[in-house]
Chains A and B, each alone.
Chain A
């Protein structure tokens, strides 16, 4: 998120303060929500209430540990794309999105004739061979629903600032 976006946010100053204070992590102490409250001069009950509300609103997906997939050996990821008839995209998208090695599964708009693909999925594996194998498996799973497939491996990160506020 860029600075220019701050003026139109769907949250108030208290939420924003909590987001800013915890986006790099929750304090590692026995009462982390109290610690957040103390730093921000907000009652810990309010911190917990706001966090619960943000969970309900989907602003917080969940509170959790995030494994380093590189350290865990998942060093290969390919952006796989398929051309699926619009009438079948919801069913197939849900199936592919439920696979445990798939993240970021979306339907996106096509640009015919240059770019016929409308189903996007990031597929993760321990090496290129295993990622390729998983992508082939998905293509097989799609069967006749897939009218075409491409895999785009990343060669280089050109910019990575992430969404932060």
Chain B
């Protein structure tokens, strides 16, 4: 498999990516512990991960946080925004620090954003303020249940 035009990935890279997506040990010498399964030493594993990060094949290495567990209220919201006011509406929505992500999507519901607030009241307040300043209804779609939130790529 060729990941980038000039970057063939060797078998060891592949193994590191596939295996270390699943977890990394918490101990005094975790690289040495993790390196054993690849039959390499700690330094060589560190170098490989460093290279994969530099080449942009990995975006991160470290703890993956689920910051929602620390508290707060989260939701996904959508709007049907007319084309002529789209940019202005995006500016209003994006101006709230409670809006973490905002995407334009190719659908009648064309603006989708993630809200993160410290209370349900504040979340409602942000939605009200967006509706008041844009005159467009915000469809709040909080999650009811989570079935899966991770993605593993087999390379």
Contact = CB atoms under 8 A, between A and B. Distances in A.
B72 A1 contact: yes
Interface string A50-81: 01101101111111111111011110000100
Most buried by A among B66, B94, B99: B66
Contacts of A103: 148-151
13 contacts: A5-B71, A8-B71, A23-B63, A23-B65, A26-B61, A30-B32, A33-B26, A65-B61, A105-B147, A158-B111, A161-B100, A162-B100, A165-B67
Contacts of B60: 24-25, 65-66
A3 interface: yes
Interface string B94-136: 1001111111111101011100111100100000000000000
Given A58-B69, A103-B149, A153-B106, 18 more contacts: A23-B65, A25-B62, A28-B61, A59-B69, A62-B64, A64-B22, A64-B64, A68-B57, A72-B155, A103-B150, A105-B147, A106-B143, A106-B147, A107-B143, A152-B105, A152-B109, A160-B100, A162-B100
Contacts of A30: 29, 31-32, 42-43, 46
Given A1-B67, A72-B155, A67 B58 contact: yes
Interface residues of A, number: 86
A63 B33 CA distance: 14
Contacts of A120: 76
Given A72-B153, A111-B139, A163 B61 contact: no
Q: How large is the interface on B (under 10, 10 to 19, 20 to 34, 35 or more residues)?
A: 35 or more
A47 B68 CA distance: 21
A69 B66 contact: no
A29 B28 CA distance: 11
B104 A156 contact: yes
Contacts of A59: 65-67, 69-70
Contacts, number: 261
Interface of A: 1-5, 7-11, 19, 22-26, 28-34, 44, 48, 51-52, 54-55, 57-69, 71-74, 79, 89-90, 93-94, 96-98, 100-109, 111, 114-115, 118, 120, 122, 124, 150, 152-165
B18 to A, nearest CB: 9
Interface string B29-63: 11110000000001100100110100111111111
